[in-house]
Structure 1
Amino acid sequence: KRRLPDRNPFYPVTGESYGAYAVMCISILIFTVGIVGNIAIMCIVCHNYYMRSISNSLLANLALWDFVVLFFCLPLVIFHELTKDWLLGEFSCKIIPYIEVASLGVSTFTLCALCIDRFRAASNVQLYYEMIENCISTAAKLTVIWLGALLLALPELLIRQLVREELEPPEVIPCEHCVIRISTALPDTLYVLGLTYNSARLWWYFGCYFCLPTLFTIISSVVTARKIRKAERTSVRGNRKQIQLESQMNCIVVALAILYGFCIIPENISNIVSVYMATGVPRRTLDILHLVSQMMLFFKSAVTPVLLLVLCRPFSKAFLDCCCCCFEECGPPKSSEPNSDDNDQDGTTELELSPYSTVVRRDPSTFPIAGTHC
């Protein structure tokens, strides 16, 4: 059979080529911002002693999954959109939806865990800041999040198939589509599981990955805010800064939930249209809607670390310190500054009291200065 020439999405210049250029530019921007931001969050948490709390471990875990989604899924999705071929064939058709759904599970459970941790902190601010979360406890919580997300996403591997669509005339290059179709070659048990999951997928997706984190975050944040206001009325002067930082962290968790909910809405719309209105909607429209839903997922993975770096002063300070060291723009040596010791002490104290850090009332000189190991 004669091999058809490879498709060039950028030439000749047509309406579709303009769309290809737009998709390429947007994806490069999302990829660059997301990779840099998520690596920064992970490095900040790993390299700072005062940032190794359960909340920061959860945020670093979320950054790790966002990095995986951007690094592995985004290039393959864009390659398929431009060439209409799956780079790794059947494997990429199955693994990309699996990773995407697993990342939604990680985001959902992480938001819930952050809400629980914030409620625990608001219930007893002084006690919370005098205890350390040991590594075993943190690893156990992260393991539960990983196992829950990975297991709940496993049925996605059963319902995907790669279909090659032959077009007319024969000179036109055929397209490959990754469709929801359960293979009859599966064992009976897996085949029934795939059918059951496929029939309930729309509402399971909507309930578990949208309603659960949204409603849980709203309810928990309201209760936590009431606890914080109560603590403000009964607190002594020394605890007020801790309470203010707790309020800030509670607001940031709400912001993360709003971003997550906003970016997951297109996926739910795409699922509803595909299930209930697929016969009356052109195939190209369905493909565009699916692409938009995937791009919004990548957008969420890229904007989440930016949101943390902008809203959280300890994160932004550590990030700027690292950039300053890497580019050798730190200015004159600290020893030449008359108030350098005071400034360093203030920065460390702020990190110690931060809701993103675990605090022990010890001499800060026994530990490294809060900052990255650039």
Structure 2
Amino acid sequence: MEDDLLPGASTGPNNTDEPGWWASSDGGETVHLAVRCVMTSVYILIVTVGLLGNVTLVKIFITNSAMRSVPNIFISSLAVGDLLLLLTCVPVDAFRYFSEEWVFGEAACKLIPAIQLTSVGVSVFTLTALSADRYKAIVNPMDIQTSSAVFWTCLKAVSIWLLSILLAVPEAVFSQVVSMQGHRDNMNVSFVNCVPYPLSDPMHPKIHSVMIFLVYFLIPLAIISVYYYHIARTLIRSAHDMPGEISDHSRRQMETRKRLAKIVLVFVGLFALCWFPNHVLYMYRSFHYQQMDLSLAHLVVTLVARVLSFSSSCVNPFALYLLSESFRRHFNSQLRCGRGPRPQRQASYLHSTSHIRLTSVKKTAPAAPAANGSHRQEVAL
């Protein structure tokens, strides 16, 4: 049964939070019932909120042509990946609180870990691409060609999905249903479980956890950090190099560029916060998989890590709602079932401070950005 909620991290030999473990201690049945009720309720809330937010986000970007921009294409792809996780992996993981064994068969054992890994791959690789896009838009926007930017962005988004699926193939290949030993009422019992790697070699879980941590967390965040270092340095330098008297339009452009970069940075921060506990927990279990941690602290950390990881699939739309005025306006319109003067809203939106033409923030004359229309990229966020 899925144990670490990390992509492909199925239950290993150190399965300490199965219902059988709770039942083996004093008051274990009560703890089991409480955890079942609380976690099921939390999962239902996560799925409901995640579906509402991500479906609405995708619908906004599909139905509003003004919102089809480079960053919004990436954000839509991010939302689709989150929906994939919410609709497949969350229900399966929730079922683990009602059954001690893996009951979904060999095919699901191979498919579910691969879907988990694909979803997280889409998330972290898309965030890396978004950071690269913000770097290019702010540090060197003259490289962006308006006529082909959307096409190339769609191609990048598709490539990210293909790469994520390809990297998840080993999960489907090596995941298997096996019979494992556990404890219940101070007795050894066997149960059927789904594991992502052969149990014959003790190095497999260690290599698996380290590679997952590097490829899906540490390396992408390191690349993103480099991009944002250059973004911050450019913005700070531009603030000093800007002429004393600049137009209100140029000032609004500068503020919008900062706001767009801030939105992506918030997405990255939320992803890191939500997934870091699971990566640490999975590596801890992989390096101590022959030992059983029966402490209450380990149980609490495990449950919190699960909730945080799945929460990462529903927080982005609401972070965008808080940070983007234009998205908030469209979101509210969708919640009102489309009632209201939508065409007028789009027209006013086109003249709002959130609809910008990205230009270089390097030292330049105030009138220069408007002089060269061939290198503008309009961003709706």
Q: TM-score normalised to the size of structure 2? A: 0.75
1:353 aligns with 2:367: no
| Residue 29 (structure 1) shift | 0.7
Cα 1:15–1:123, aligned 2, differ >3 Å: closer, same or farther?
closer
SS in 2 for 1:301: coil
Question: Matched residues in 1 for 2:222 and 2:143: separation?
Answer: 28
Partner amino acid, structure 2, of 1:298: F
SS in 2 for 1:253: helix
Please point out which of 288, 305, 329 is paired with 1:277.
288
- Structure 1 segment 1-374 matched on structure 2, within 5 A: 14-124=30-140, 131-165=146-180, 175-182=191-198, 200-232=207-239, 233-234=241-242, 236-237=246-247, 238-282=249-293, 292-326=304-338, 328=339, 330=340, 345-350=347-352, 351-353=354-356
| Residue 56 (structure 1) shift | 0.5
Cα 1:228–1:203, aligned 2, differ >3 Å: closer, same or farther?
same
Cα 1:111–1:198, aligned 2, differ >3 Å: closer, same or farther?
same
Contact 2:57–2:76, Cα closer than 8 Å, also in 1:
yes
- Higher relative contact order, chain-length normalized (CA < 8 Å, sep 6+): 2
| Residue 133 (structure 1) shift | 4.2
| Residue 227 (structure 1) shift | 2.0
Question: Matched residues in 2 for 1:143 and 1:177: separation?
Answer: 34
Question: Matched residues in 2 for 1:281 and 1:117: separation?
Answer: 45
Contact 2:57–2:317, Cα closer than 8 Å, also in 1:
yes
Contact 1:161–1:178, Cα closer than 8 Å, also in 2:
yes
Contact 2:197–2:204, Cα closer than 8 Å, also in 1:
no
SS in 1 for 2:313: helix
Which residues of structure 1 form unaligned runs of 5+? Answer: 1-6, 185-193, 335-339, 362-369
Partner amino acid, structure 2, of 1:88: F
Q: String of CA shifts for 1:328-371, please: whole Å, max 9, x gaps.
A: 4x4xx79xxxxx97x7644221243287xxxx98xxxxxxxx99
Question: Matched residues in 1 for 2:76 and 2:281: separation?
Answer: 30
Cα 1:344–1:147, aligned 2, differ >3 Å: closer, same or farther?
closer
Question: Matched residues in 1 for 2:56 and 2:193: separation?
Answer: 36
SS in 2 for 1:141: helix
Computed over aligned residues only, the root mean square deviation of the Cα atoms, in angstroms, reads: 3.6
Contact 1:165–1:176, Cα closer than 8 Å, also in 2:
yes
What residue is the counterpart of 1:365 in the other structure?
A: none
Question: Matched residues in 2 for 1:284 and 1:97: separation?
Answer: 27
Cα 1:180–1:49, aligned 2, differ >3 Å: closer, same or farther?
closer
Which residues of structure 2 form unaligned runs of 5+? Answer: 1-18, 23-27, 359-371, 374-379
Question: Matched residues in 2 for 1:91 and 1:290: separation?
Answer: 26
Which one has the bigger helix percentage?
1
Partner amino acid, structure 2, of 1:42: V
| Residue 294 (structure 1) shift | 3.7
Contact 2:177–2:193, Cα closer than 8 Å, also in 1:
yes
Question: Matched residues in 2 for 1:254 and 1:135: separation?
Answer: 22
Cα 1:33–1:309, aligned 2, differ >3 Å: closer, same or farther?
same
Q: TM-score normalised to the size of structure 1? A: 0.76
